[in-house]
Structure 1
Amino acid sequence: MNFEFATAGRIVFGMGTVKDVGRMAASMGRRALLVTGAATERTAPLLASLTPHGIQAIRFAVPHEPSIETVERGVALARMEGCDMVIGFGGGSPLDAGKAIAAMLSNPGEVLDYLEIIGKGRALSQAPLPFIAIPTTAGTGAEVTRNAVLSSPIHRMKVSLRSPLMLPRLVVVDPELTLSVPPAVTAATGLDALTQVIEPFLSNAANPITDGFCREGMARTARSLRKAFADGSDAAAREDMAMTSLLGGLALANAKLGAVHGFAGTLGGMFEAPHGAVCAALLPHAMSVNVKALLTRDPSNPVLARHDEVARILTGKAGATAVDGVAWIRELCADLRVPGLAAYGLRSDHFETVIAKAAGASSMKGNPILLNAKEMAEILSRAL
């Protein structure tokens, strides 16, 4: 048994904890580039926390999923303003943008020098500027991951800037910040969180530490995602989903993902589609095709029993099997009104390109069995 576990320097979780960020950040710097989503008014409690501790915030909004150009603009602004720390506040987009900006502020060269697949894939040589991650949605787990997903419109791909050095110095998860998230976003981010506690559990790099996180996250999602979707003010449900998101980030950063995320990165680069909704549309079909492939080509693989365990956790039934788990997820997606991938423009004539790009994705390498082109096409076809 060989594995490594690494995470953020400090994780603080709980309702109202955003009010303590200023005190915790005071030793890290005095001028922070505050990377946010489009709704910058939500930063009011954070700003109120920073000011008494002499920390000035220079705002940088990331209203869409970050691109290479987004990071370049953020780096330029931070340098012009003399920023000595970076705070990411929002969903996965501002958190990933903040991680990448903090990394590029202390490392030479261009973003493409360090990107995988489309870039040179160089390793970061210097630790990023101090970075604080504060998620306001419950889904990506980006607050505790060691990579930043960036889009390249020229390549029509989303790829990662990745390094163990990119783990945040401080993570503050305040479920109170998610109470105002609308139902559609709650559904997409929540299903992303669910995917990120299922795929590492089924991946070829699962380990005892991440297994525990995944089991806990699946159980919390099973009891709370529908509640959070139906009533956003349900504090207990919001707390469960914020914890699941955190657990998923811890798991994927230290195990691997699988076919769902292998496809999702590619599809997100080709189509305007929310990452969580793409994961939701793919998840039950990827699980079903994986089970069939394992039974056909590797029937002694212990991950088959893990598919049954996923089903037992999600359904709460002791005798549940993988088929029951897939049915439960499909029903959940229907209840949360998740559309198929055709809603975002995917057609069967795109499959060849999507499969070719997804086959090289880092997440695909974590899938419990190497899927062939026919099996990958079956997943896409079912997810339409």
Structure 2
Amino acid sequence: MNLYGFQTARRIVSGCNSLQSLRDHLGPLAQAKSALLITQASLLRFGFVQEILDQLSGLGIETDTLTDVLPEPTAANIEEMHEKIRHRPFELYIGVGGGSVLDATKILSVLKTNDKKVVDLLGTDLVDRPGVPTVLIPTTSGTGSEVTPNAIVTLPDEELKIGIVSRYLLPELVVMDPVLTRGLPKPITAATGMDAFTHSFESFISNKANPISDMFALESIRLISRSIAAAYHDGADLEARERMMIGSMYGGMALTSAGTAAVHALAYPLGGKYNIPHGVANSMLLPHVTEFNLDVITERLVPVAEAMGLTRGEIGAEEASRLVIDQLLAWTRELDIPQNLESYGVTPADVPALAEAAMKVTRLLNNNPKKVSEEDAAAIYRKLLP
């Protein structure tokens, strides 16, 4: 039998308005004398940022705020932020935002305690020692970053995104309050929600899928499938928002154990070169990569179809797999997810370079249940061009 494992955040608190009692969840972290709140300037107008600062102040914790995180942060962006704060004695980092903020917070945490640059950490288990303790508070339901040992960095010069994977990236505390996602704009709800679905889907068909990842992946698929359209059409639907948040977390837990595969590998060059949001790139690619993999995952898609609510009782594997792909395509239409790479500036002449870049993401391609050649990758990209 293959070995498999699982790791996640030390403590997770979830539920509507759970942020209002943040101070009660901090435990030993409440002894910190100073904390840095890491977020984006666009979130400062929301009351929950001030709520966090007020609670920390009530505990006697001095705070400062860093709002320089770029969408899809680059290595240079993270290094610049690190230079701003490296000599300041913060004892706690609190990341509040979407996946970009959470990833940046985790990386900044270990940069503080490891004498390395961001590029030195790219890969698996290259972080030598624990970082500054972190609290992660997601405001989207997409990446699952709050519960994973992963963080993604954009490398513009290489036109690629690369991951850092280390147990030292796991936070001390996660607070998941679906109220923070209420009213999230429709495009962000769609992109982040489909990103979370892709995490679960790819974890389930990954070469490293195992009983732990399967449990989280199928429950994530179930929760997201019954909620993503409702959350998209009605941003105030808190029940749907809560299911999306839990589903996203389960997706992160699934990929922690099993890893993602070719969809993510092909998505990274689209984000690295054309700045296509990660969730959008995944959503565009997912139906076509699934079609490519179909001859080796057909049986595997039977429980996926059931979790998606597409089947009742006995059904053949061929029919179940076709229902899954049809639903993936239906979601791209209902959620207004683009299906044309030309709208982002990609031309047919760019495809060979994209395929070549995707081949460099071997950590994820090795997880794919079917070997992907450079020619295969190019053919998949071309399906998204007129």
Q: TM-score scaled to structure 1, two decimals?
A: 0.93
The residue that corresponds to 1:297 in the other structure is none
Show the counterpart of 2:24: 23
1:352 alignment counterpart: 352
SS in 2 for 1:81: coil
- Detail structure 1 runs of 4+ shifted over 4 Å in the superposition: none
Q: Quickly say closer, same or farther: Cα 1:348–1:8, change in 2 above 3 A.
A: same
Of 70, 88, 91 in structure 2, the residue corresponding to residue 81 of structure 1 is 88
Query: What letter matches 2:10 in structure 1?
Result: G
Give the whole-Å Cα distance in 1 for the aligned partners of 2:243 and 2:25: 24
SS of the residue 1:366 aligns to: coil
Shift of 1:325: 0.5
Counterpart in 2 of 1:300?
Answer: none
CA apart distance, 1:315:
4.0
- Farther-moved stretch of structure 1 (127-136 vs 58-67): 58-67
Q: Which range moved further: 341-350 or 321-330?
A: 341-350
Quick one: distance in 1 between partners of 2:79 and 2:259?
Answer: 28
Distance (whole Å) between structure 1 residues aligned to residue 38 and residue 214 of structure 2: 32
- CA deviations on 1:36-70 (whole Å, 9 max, x unpaired) are 02322331222232221122221111142211122
Alignment CA distance shift 1:239-1:272 (3 Å)? same
Query: Quick check: 1:185 aligned with 2:188?
Result: yes
Deviation for aligned residue 1:20:
2.3
**Which of residues 40, 45, 48 is equivalent to 2:44?**
40
Distance in 2 (CA, whole Å) between partners of 1:137 and 1:50 is 23
How does 1:175-324 map onto structure 2 within 5 Å?
175-292=178-295, 294=296, 303-318=297-312, 319=315, 320-324=319-323
Q: Secondary structure at 1:87's aligned position in 2?
A: strand
Query: Are 2:94 and 1:100 aligned?
Result: no
Which residue of the partner structure matches residue 64 of structure 2? 58
What do you get for the CA RMSD once the two structures are aligned? 1.6
Where 1:82 maps in the other structure, the secondary structure is: coil
- In 2, the alpha carbon distance for the partners of 1:372 and 1:73 equals 37
Query: Compared with structure 1, are the counterparts of its residues 214 and 122 closer, same or farther at alpha carbon in structure 2 (3 Å cutoff)?
Result: closer
Aligned residue type for 1:166: L
**Is the contact between residue 70 and residue 77 of structure 2 (CA under 8 Å) also seen in structure 1?**
no
CA–CA distance in structure 2, aligned partners of residues 127 and 185 of structure 1: 32
d(CA) in 1 for partners of 2:116, 2:4: 32
Give me the whole-angstrom Cα distance separating, in 1, the residues matched to 2:208 and 2:192. Answer: 24
| Number of residue equivalences | 371
Offset of residue 122 of structure 1: 7.1
- Work out the CA distance in 2 between the residues paired with 1:109 and 1:378: 39
Rounded to whole Å, the distance in 2 between the matches of 1:276 and 1:214 is 17
Name the CA distance, whole Å, in 2 between partners of 1:184 and 1:81.
37
- Amino acid aligned to 2:300: R
Q: Is the 8 A contact 2:203 2:209 kept in 1?
A: yes
**Deviation of 1:309 (Å):** 2.4
1:7 aligns with 2:8: yes
**More deviation in 152-161 or 258-267?**
152-161
Q: Is the aligned partner of 1:72 residue 2:84?
A: no
Listed as ranges, the matches of 1:329-344 within 5 Å are 329-340=328-339, 341-344=341-344
Whole-angstrom distance in 2 between the partners of 1:286 and 1:88: 33
1:140-188: per-residue Cα shift (whole Å, max 9, x none)?
Answer: 1010111211112222221122211111111111111000211111011
Cα displacement (A) at 1:327 = 0.6
Contact 1:26 1:53 in 2 (8 A): no
| Residues 358 and 377, structure 2, Cα contact 8 Å, conserved in 1 | no
Question: Where does residue 376 of structure 1 map in the other structure?
Answer: 377
Separation in 1, partners of 2:245, 2:116:
36
Percent of aligned pairs sharing the same letter: 34
1:58 partner letter: D
Instruction: Give deviations 1:291-341, integer Å, cap 9, x for gaps.
Output: 14x3xxxxxxxx431123222322431324211110111001100000122
User: Aligned equivalents of 1:122 and 1:277: distance in 2?
Assistant: 29
Partner SS, residue 305 of structure 1: coil
Once the two structures are superposed, residues 222-242 of structure 1 have per-residue CA deviations (whole angstroms, 9 ceiling, x without a partner) of 111000000000010000100
| Aligned equivalents of 2:183, 2:215: Cα separation in 1 | 30
**Partners of 2:125 and 2:166 within 8 A in 1:** no
Q: Once the 2 structures are TM-superposed, how far is the Cα of residue 128 of structure 1 from its aligned partner?
A: 0.9
| CA distance in structure 2 between the partners assigned to 1:80 and 1:220 by the alignment | 43
| 2:354–2:378 CA contact under 8 A, matched in 1 | no
Equivalent in 98, 108, 118 of residue 111 of structure 1: 118
Structure 1, 337-346 or 130-139: larger mean CA deviation: 337-346
Counterparts of 2:10 and 2:132, CA distance in 1: 13
User: Secondary structure of the residue that 2:126 maps to in structure 1?
Assistant: coil
How far residue 348 of structure 1 moved from its aligned partner, in angstroms, is: 2.0
* SS state at 2:28 partner: coil
Taking the aligned partners of 1:356 and 1:102, their CA distance within structure 2 comes to 33
* 1:214/1:251 contact within 8 Å kept: yes
TM-score (norm 2): 0.92
